[in-house]
A and B are shown apart, each in its own frame.
Chain A
């Protein structure tokens, strides 16, 4: 069994590459341009412009009032690289990512398999797994803050624990991770479910005829066919997890958590900009963080391209 997703969809790709493509592209630009214009305008206004503005501010000593700003060169960057708090908070974001990404990938796959194969009440399972994702982060965080309450919360009550989930530094980040898993697994679950439904039945039928058991079918058909979607889930989760902010902040009542254990880099940038009013310095931290995130995204694209080239 050597068929993979690439070879199954190859004919469709070959057709688009035909001679008519150039003409179509030209027409597409004329008409499509109008369609994408509103998006591009908003994108430029709310993403590109703030990014450029932030990059500029990172070379200044700007404060929140915007007055008395002067150019300070690389001072903010020099300070940031020597700032132990920046490294600590970056570490917290990375630690959170390291915990969340593998768990969410495995969990999403498992739930998708369950929802895909279950016959009765399929819609209910799908709804249950996906519904939390529709909640605003503040609702999810408040809900879990309540569940984790050491005295009256359900978690300790049900499991007979006395764990100070939100007030001890050894558990606080774990609590944020658990809340995040419950709240966001629905998205990856949906991606997996769609991918599972896209695997042609005839592959399984052929395998069955060849005498492959359920385990073999999983290892030799399902997992290879899901390889691309797994790559996507992992990459999206890394990018999302590095930016963790709202659920941690709400669960910790707008503090950096017990002994500063849940202060993430985004929260630190926010504090520097909006509590300490050091907009220039906060911009420098944000730009450093942006470079890290962009590197992850670029690395992922590069890896994917190499793999596609390998397949060809």
Chain B
């Protein structure tokens, strides 16, 4: 058989091949077309995970940056929150296609292979654009420091809150003269409050939404109350588990009691917690990102940090932070633009506070405009008593720790496991995780432990 001549079919096949190949080519060019379309000298590619009200506020802040800096074109992309976001960010950094600027939860930074998937910030460059360490809560700033280098700059603290309906609480006699919920300092007081509130609650509604079947929320609440009891996770060298199963049992029993005494109903264990609150449920424990939701629903409500039922105030806090995903050739105008953009958003976080978050940049907190924001001004103190996950590679928002331990907390709250059994299971999970190796560098938490 000789070489076949070019007939009609082969010509068609060839053309088809060229079109397929060229479409791959264009795909590889990626956002090149955007760069050509813009007049700006510098282009900053920025990935974030903000949707809903946060997304709206972030876009508003980006637009005002664009207006103030016409020489910098910001190409922003919003990706799905949670694990999918971190997967994409890691793969982009590993494949050297990383954006110039990214957003992460502070708790995930330690496990995100600083130095390999993340580049360190140029502190002088940040200072040039007005962001300095002294303008932040030191504990918060230091969470982004690994081995002496700054890998994450905090934008906010976002905390778990106790939202309450003023209209219902007023009827129940639980509203103080200042129009805020009566203070609570023990578990007994707390359940007294719930008992009174229940009497004033419409039929068909639960008294409190505690997201009892949601592994993330239940884990966050656990972290808060366990910290109130002064509980610890590991020793300083991350070589030993110091998790206190007695304290953990107390917390788990406390969470469970909401169900056994009928204040939180199992059937409203997920997003229905928030819906019930809008419909007239007196309480819901929920992240501060719900502020815009309840503002929009036009309900009469307030929000305090989670009640200090074990004495010491502490509420679960995470933090959105800016990071520089690893680029092998990081530097030049795009890198400077990334510093400039991050600093601008951090300094203009007044808009961000509308989403309920507590701005990390302290000068914003002292403005009159912020002080007038309600209910933000009611829970701003949460910044000073943050309960956070331990600083280990497997911790952080939607990370491995939450995925392994969160369901155990749920099993206790929902009643399919006894609190003390669940506490022991939590301890064994923590022991297993502490001994396991970080897949990024093959070291355990003890060997590669982060330096705070």
Q: Report yes or no: A63 in contact with B403, Cβ–Cβ below 8 A.
A: no
Q: Which residues of B contact A61 (CB under 8 A)?
A: 439, 442
- Which candidate, B83-91, B244-252, B312-320, B359-367, is the interface stretch facing chain A? B83-91
Q: Report yes or no: B84 in contact with A149, Cβ–Cβ below 8 A.
A: no
A258 and B406 alpha carbons, distance in the complex (Å): 10
* Tally of contact residues, B, Cβ under 8 A: 48
* Tally of contact residues, A, Cβ under 8 A: 37
Q: Report yes or no: B276 in contact with A151, Cβ–Cβ below 8 A.
A: yes
Q: Report yes or no: B13 in contact with A34, Cβ–Cβ below 8 A.
A: yes
Q: Which residues of A contact B17 (CB under 8 A)?
A: 38
Q: Report yes or no: A149 in contact with B272, Cβ–Cβ below 8 A.
A: yes
Decide if A259 is an interface residue (CB 8 Å cutoff): yes
Decide if B232 is an interface residue (CB 8 Å cutoff): no
Q: Report yes or no: A167 in contact with B269, Cβ–Cβ below 8 A.
A: yes
Decide if B63 is an interface residue (CB 8 Å cutoff): no
A108 and B349 alpha carbons, distance in the complex (Å): 56
Q: Which residues of B contact A275 (CB under 8 A)?
A: 83, 86-87, 398-400, 403
Closest chain-B Cβ to A310's Cβ sits at a distance in Å of 43
B interface SS class = helix
A110 and B279 alpha carbons, distance in the complex (Å): 42
Q: Report yes or no: B414 in contact with A276, Cβ–Cβ below 8 A.
A: no
A interface SS class = loop
Across the interface, B411 reaches (CB within 8 A) one of A68, A259, A276, namely A259
Decide if A309 is an interface residue (CB 8 Å cutoff): no
A30 and B1 alpha carbons, distance in the complex (Å): 10
Please encode chain A, from 26 to 67, with 1 for each CB lying within 8 Å of some chain B CB and 0 for all others: 000010001001100000000000000000000001011111
Decide if B266 is an interface residue (CB 8 Å cutoff): yes
Across the interface, A271 reaches (CB within 8 A) one of B272, B403, B410, namely B403
Please encode chain B, from 377 to 415, with 1 for each CB lying within 8 Å of some chain A CB and 0 for all others: 000000000000000001000111001000100110010
Closest chain-A Cβ to B244's Cβ sits at a distance in Å of 24
Closest chain-A Cβ to B176's Cβ sits at a distance in Å of 31
A67 and B212 alpha carbons, distance in the complex (Å): 40
Q: Report yes or no: A150 in contact with B268, Cβ–Cβ below 8 A.
A: yes
Q: Which residues of B contact A255 (CB under 8 A)?
A: 214-216
Closest chain-A Cβ to B265's Cβ sits at a distance in Å of 8
Q: Report yes or no: B410 in contact with A258, Cβ–Cβ below 8 A.
A: yes
Within 8 A of A (CB), among B64-123: 82-84, 86-87, 90-91, 93-94, 113, 116-117
Across the interface, A65 reaches (CB within 8 A) one of B13, B117, B213, B276, namely B117
Q: Report yes or no: A65 in contact with B87, Cβ–Cβ below 8 A.
A: no
Closest chain-B Cβ to A146's Cβ sits at a distance in Å of 10
Among residues of A, the one whose C-beta sits closest to the C-beta of B211 is A167
Q: Report yes or no: A278 in contact with B269, Cβ–Cβ below 8 A.
A: no
Among residues of B, the one whose C-beta sits closest to the C-beta of A30 is B1
Q: Which residues of A contact B266 (CB under 8 A)?
A: 164, 167-168
Q: Which residues of A contact B113 (CB under 8 A)?
A: 65
Decide if B270 is an interface residue (CB 8 Å cutoff): yes
Q: Report yes or no: A151 in contact with B94, Cβ–Cβ below 8 A.
A: no
Q: Which residues of A contact B403 (CB under 8 A)?
A: 256, 271, 275
Q: Known interface pairs A162-B267, A255-B215, A277-B439. Does A271 touch B411 (Cβ–Cβ under 8 Å)?
A: no
Q: Report yes or no: A259 in contact with B87, Cβ–Cβ below 8 A.
A: no
Across the interface, B94 reaches (CB within 8 A) one of A34, A65, A259, A276, namely A65
Q: Report yes or no: B87 in contact with A274, Cβ–Cβ below 8 A.
A: yes
Q: Known interface pairs A259-B416, A275-B400. Does A150 touch B272 (Cβ–Cβ under 8 Å)?
A: yes
Q: Known interface pairs A61-B442, A64-B87. Does A259 touch B268 (Cβ–Cβ under 8 Å)?
A: no
Q: Report yes or no: B90 in contact with A64, Cβ–Cβ below 8 A.
A: yes
Decide if A163 is an interface residue (CB 8 Å cutoff): yes
Across the interface, B213 reaches (CB within 8 A) one of A152, A167, A271, namely A167
Closest chain-A Cβ to B108's Cβ sits at a distance in Å of 10
A259 and B403 alpha carbons, distance in the complex (Å): 11
Decide if A300 is an interface residue (CB 8 Å cutoff): no
A63 and B414 alpha carbons, distance in the complex (Å): 36
Within 8 A of B (CB), among A212-259: 253-256, 258-259
Closest chain-A Cβ to B278's Cβ sits at a distance in Å of 10
Among residues of A, the one whose C-beta sits closest to the C-beta of B17 is A38
Decide if B275 is an interface residue (CB 8 Å cutoff): yes
> What are 22 A-B contacts defined by CB distance under 8 Å?
A34-B13, A38-B13, A64-B90, A65-B117, A152-B272, A162-B267, A164-B213, A166-B270, A167-B267, A167-B269, A168-B267, A169-B414, A258-B414, A259-B213, A259-B407, A259-B410, A274-B84, A274-B87, A276-B394, A277-B440, A279-B439, A280-B439
Q: A34-B9, A34-B10 are in contact. List 19 more A-B contacts (CB 8 A).
A: A38-B20, A63-B439, A63-B440, A65-B93, A65-B116, A65-B117, A67-B94, A67-B116, A149-B275, A168-B414, A259-B410, A259-B411, A259-B414, A271-B403, A275-B83, A275-B87, A275-B400, A276-B439, A277-B439
